Structure 1
Amino acid sequence: MTDVMVDRIPSQAEIRRWRRYLADEQAEAAVYRDLAGRRAGEERDILLALAEAEGRHEEHWRILLGDNVGAPRKGALRTRFLAFLARRFGSVFVLALAQRAESRSPYEADVDATDAMAADERIHEEVVRGLAARGRKRLSGTFRAAVFGVNDGLVSNLALVLGIGATGVPASTILFTGVAGLLAGALSMGAGEYVSVRSQRELLEASSPNPETQSALPHLDLAANELTLVYRARGMAPDEAARHAEEVLRGVALATGSISVTAGGAAADGAPTAADVDEHEAVGTGMSAAISSFCFFASGALLPILPYLFGMQGIAAVVVAAVLVGIALLGTGAIVGLLSGAPPLKRALRQVAIGLGAAGVTYLLGLLFGTSVG
């Protein structure tokens, strides 16, 4: 409960501002409650605590308003949009948007908000940032591959189609070139992803402890204690490794086979286990990664050739292709911005500028090449 007192008659501008703050606090609390309903354990408790804090801020504005509270109002459009997303998705994207909303709190510059409220909003930003970071880590590699794969397909095939088209070749040639670029790029992405994932899995497996090693423990020479070398190789200091090895061997002596190198030391020492490999393998198997990358790239590379598939040609086809790709780049850029915690609009516009800029350069080169040949 806040102890603020109103010792004067507020102006109509102040009443309107306080009512807006009150509505925003109510809407933000509803967002956190909706998100909490889709979480469990610690995350749920944190979100409910945030909603409770927004309730304290709400009470502050209620006391200031007194009899001027008036009828319930809707919160700001961005807050209502967050509430809509929270009720339907409850995803990391909502938390990322909430993080941005908390960072724009006006309380520090408002004399009617307390210092504690302004500090709360700053801390809320960091709390939501932490929750969003958890969600970002849980995002599958397939999703990240989708965003970047689609983006690669959009930019590379638009540049190819515009560059070839600017030379003055027939529309059918542009279409066939675009289809060839789609297939070549998608196959290249798929093959590269397959090799990358397979190599990563093989490296992780090579670094994992061999579970069969535990069968050698009962037969080790306790005086020589070769097990010490295992822990020293994993980064322990010599004395610490010797103590740890003695503890493991003592356990083996008491109950042969109940303690293994993996159970007795690998997990504690930070060495990767089979479960760790599965958890951190972002895209699963090499084949699934290859198929996903192929489809993502192809879906992006399809947009620039759509006008030519429907019989368009000339400047009209170029404009339509550029507009379609620009819209798609806005979407992928905004998603990348959300995932990285950056302003979505800024990242979206940057993505469009880079993508269309690259395509524009190839178009100009195609014009020059076509003119020189002609």
Structure 2
Amino acid sequence: MYDELAERRSGSEREILLSLAAAERRHQAHWVELLGDDVGKPVRADFRTRMLGVLAKRFGSVFVLALMQRAEARSPYETDDDATEAMAADERIHGEVVRALAARGRSRLSGTFRAAVFGANDGLVSNLALVLGMSATGVSNTVVLASGVAGLLAGALSMGAGEYVSVRSQRELLAASTPDPQASTAVPKLDVDANELALVYRARGMSEEEAEARARDVFSGLSSSTSAIRVVPSARPGDTEGDSSDGVGAAGGVDANLDEHEEIGTAWQASISSFLFFASGAVVPVIPYLFGLTGLVAVAVAAGLVGIALLGTGAVVGLLSGASPLKRAVRQLAIGFGAAAATYLLGLVFGATLG
């Protein structure tokens, strides 16, 4: 599987995956040597492993890396008397390597994925609750259907607009805290004796001694021919004085990629994802009413369809987070059905009161 993943990667990621594959071959050689003449013919991998191999070959995505992370975590070597301590340690470290590789993809996905999952689940739960609550009051099938469609449209538009404003506001707030790259042009003109530059590092969390030392290092590296220097925003306590990547250096001009806030996603991506996934989720509880089902039959079908969808979204979240898909699926189902059941009971109460 590592070989298949490596085929779809390049650069350092490919080298890392090939190194993991080589380590697994060392483990294979250990078992072959231990078994000796009893090694027998190669046994076909189980269904789970074969599916992972197919996914790795076809997609090579963060989903496969997340599954590989879980596979490494399930290694039995720590309790296997025939496995060496080094092999058990290898497997634990392999899990961390895969976790780090998957983290890159998770970071790229997290902004849009968060909006998509939130939108889909909100659509499923809120519209199921609305449809069940209306149905419990005893109104006609037409009214329930109209309420469900209205809830779908209103909710999707509201979610899309809300996500756009939320993400845009968050990015603007973070951008306001990002150091101004144009400030680097003022550094050569500073009074060396007053050393205002040290205040920047102190404001970023450095101690007074560390800040003074870093500022002196910057000034000592300046030359009369330097027209612009780079201010990198991540000067932190404990950084070494000579590490120009964490402070102010005299090379390369202004860094144009200070902080893209990639994990948040863009406002439009989040908005569109939220709109579409809310609508796709909200249409599910309306389906039985579209086909003319009424009463408890419609309620049961709507709840069943939503339950399947909630299990699916919960499992996907579990896979991507490297956690148990089953636990996340059951948790999602319990939360969704809990909210829908409460609304249905309220609908029964209001229906009896109105009646």
TM-score (norm 2): 0.84
Q: 2:329 aligns with which of 331, 345, 348?
A: 348
Who is 2:293 aligned against? 312
The number of equivalent residue pairs is 342
Structure 2: tracts of 5 or more residues without a match: 236-243, 249-253
Q: Secondary structure at the match of 1:334?
A: helix
CA contact (8 A) 1:248 1:259 kept: no
CA contact (8 A) 2:73 2:91 kept: yes
Q: 2:312 aligns with which of 320, 324, 331?
A: 331
Who is 1:322 aligned against? 303
TM-score (norm 1): 0.80
Matches within 5 A, 1:19-38: 31-38=1-8
Distance of 1:33 and 1:247 partners within structure 2: 46
Q: 2:246 aligns with which of 268, 271, 288?
A: 268
Q: Secondary structure at the match of 2:148?
A: helix
Aligned letter for 2:149?
V
Higher helix share: 1
Distance of 2:49 and 2:350 partners within structure 1: 52
Distance of 1:161 and 1:317 partners within structure 2: 10
Q: Tell me by how many angstroms 1:260 deviates.
A: 5.1
Aligned letter for 2:170?
Q
Q: 1:278 aligns with which of 260, 272, 275?
A: 260
- From the superposition, tell whether residues 143 and 118 of structure 1 become closer, same or farther in structure 2 (CA, over 3 Å): same
Choose 40-49 or 315-324, whichever is displaced more. Answer: 40-49
Who is 1:192 aligned against? 162
- From the superposition, tell whether residues 111 and 224 of structure 1 become closer, same or farther in structure 2 (CA, over 3 Å): closer
Choose 349-358 or 52-61, whichever is displaced more. Answer: 52-61
Q: Please give the per-residue CA displacement for 1:274-299, whole angstroms capped at 9, x wherever unaligned.
A: 52332436222x33432322222111
Q: Tell me by how many angstroms 1:157 deviates.
A: 0.9
Distance of 1:168 and 1:264 partners within structure 2: 61
Distance of 2:200 and 2:312 partners within structure 1: 50
Aligned letter for 1:280?
E
CA contact (8 A) 1:190 1:290 kept: yes
Q: Tell me by how many angstroms 1:55 deviates.
A: 1.8
Q: 2:198 aligns with which of 222, 228, 253?
A: 228
Provide the alpha-carbon RMSD of the alignment: 2.9
Aligned letter for 1:85?
L
Who is 1:12 aligned against? none
Who is 2:211 aligned against? 241
Structure 1: tracts of 5 or more residues without a match: 1-30
Matches within 5 A, 1:8-27: none
Q: Please give the per-residue CA displacement for 1:95-117, whole angstroms capped at 9, x wherever unaligned.
A: 22222222323344444444444
Q: Tell me by how many angstroms 1:79 deviates.
A: 0.9
- From the superposition, tell whether residues 306 and 123 of structure 1 become closer, same or farther in structure 2 (CA, over 3 Å): same
Q: Secondary structure at the match of 1:224?
A: coil
Who is 1:144 aligned against? 114
Q: Please give the per-residue CA displacement for 1:289-346, whole angstroms capped at 9, x wherever unaligned.
A: 3232222211111111122122222222212211211111111101111222211112
Q: Please give the per-residue CA displacement for 1:10-38, whole angstroms capped at 9, x wherever unaligned.
A: xxxxxxxxxxxxxxxxxxxxx11111222
Aligned letter for 1:103?
A
Instruction: Point out which structure has higher relative CO (alpha carbons under 8 A, 6+ apart).
Output: 2
CA contact (8 A) 2:125 2:339 kept: yes
Distance of 2:22 and 2:185 partners within structure 1: 55
- From the superposition, tell whether residues 176 and 228 of structure 1 become closer, same or farther in structure 2 (CA, over 3 Å): same
Who is 2:99 aligned against? 129
Who is 1:22 aligned against? none
Distance of 1:268 and 1:322 partners within structure 2: 54
